[in-house]
């Protein structure tokens, strides 16, 4: 489903006249329906790997091959921007702690929109959005508010709702439980496990290793540059 081959990324900051290597020599492979965890200390490049798969970062070494439903096998860094945008709308999801800003759009509408861009009709989208927000315990009083004012945990649950509701083929999770209490974490875990059962391939970074136990099929260790099977 996804093959990362000798991937590396460096950042050039022109005004400092500086180029820094963030990460290099990363190779792993995720089969359809598998859950790969990524572990490593802070600053080791975990988020850089995920963002480069999603296309937020432009990698400069190696390649990232994805078996897409729509286009067949593609190198995610060579396909046209427009095709990558289409994959993001329909196949590849990404969740982080940061909420995407949208002018005056309510939390309910955000979830509806994620469904609409997949081609779901509005009535179905609204029903599904309601179920999903309920599942993630986003208080009904907040559904028609703008998320700018939400707490970290509320924003995060909204982000997860927007991603999960699409049941993407490939879901990238960058510490999606970082600021959640235990009850919310369990809800997230439950949803992830449901997605996995339904065939979604997942790659996730969690600071909380316990949380990943029993969910991940294997773990990529940034410091060892190797995949370990976990059973």
Q: Which residues bind ligand ADP (CB under 6 A)?
A: 11, 22, 40, 42-48
| Closest separation in Å from C-beta 22 to ligand ADP | 3
* Least gap, CB of 220 to Mg ion (angstroms): 14
Task: Give the range of 23-31, 43-51, 83-91, 156-164 binding Mg ion by CB under 5 A.
Answer: 43-51
Give the orientation angle of helix 152-164 with respect to helix 122-135, to 10 degrees: 140
Q: Is 123 in the site for another protein (CB under 8 A)?
A: no
Tokens representing 85 are 């945008």
> Between 107-116 and 152-164, two packed helices, what is the crossing angle to 10 degrees?
20
Q: Between helices 107-116 and 122-135, what is the axis angle to 10°?
A: 130
Size of the site for Mg ion (CB under 5 A): 1
**Residues from 31 through 70 that contact another protein (CB under 8 A):** 51, 55-58
Query: Any residues with CB less than 8 A from the CB of 132 and at least 6 apart, and which?
Result: 111, 161, 164, 165
What are 31's strand-pairing partners? none
Tell me which stretch binds Mg ion (CB under 5 A): 10-18, 44-52, 96-104, 154-162: 44-52
**Distance of alpha carbon 108 from alpha carbon 173, whole angstroms:** 21
| CB nearer Mg ion, residue 111 or residue 212 | 212
In the numeric block, the tokens 């000798």 are attached to: 6
- Single residue of 2, 9, 39, 47 touching Mg ion by CB under 5 A: 47
- Catalog residues that contact another protein under the rule CB under 8 A: 11-15, 51, 55-58, 81-82, 84-85, 101-105, 113, 116
């Amino acid at each position: 489903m996804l093959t990362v081959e000798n991937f590396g990324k460096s950042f050039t900051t022109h005004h400092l006249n500086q180029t820094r290597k963030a990460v290099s020599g990363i190779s792993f492979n995720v089969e359809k329906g598998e859950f790969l965890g990524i572990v490593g200390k802070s600053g080791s490049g975990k988020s850089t790997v995920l963002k480069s798969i999603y296309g937020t970062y432009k990698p400069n070494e190696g390649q990232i091959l994805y078996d897409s439903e729509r286009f067949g096998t593609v190198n995610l860094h060579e396909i046209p921007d427009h095709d990558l945008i289409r994959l993001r709308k329909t196949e590849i999801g990404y969740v982080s702690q940061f909420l995407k800003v949208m002018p005056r759009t309510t939390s309910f509408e955000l979830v509806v929109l994620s469904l609409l861009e997949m081609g779901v009709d509005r009535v179905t989208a609204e029903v599904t959005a309601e179920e999903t927000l309920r599942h993630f315990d986003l208080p009904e009083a907040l559904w028609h508010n703008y998320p700018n004012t939400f707490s970290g945990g509320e924003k995060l649950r909204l982000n997860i709702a927007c991603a999960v509701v699409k049941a993407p083929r490939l879901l990238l999770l960058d510490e999606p439980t970082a600021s959640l209490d235990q009850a919310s974490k369990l809800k997230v875990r439950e949803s992830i496990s449901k997605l996995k059962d339904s065939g979604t391939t997942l790659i996730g970074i969690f600071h909380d290793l316990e949380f990943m136990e029993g969910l991940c099929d294997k773990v990529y260790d940034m410091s060892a540059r190797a995949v370990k099977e976990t059973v």
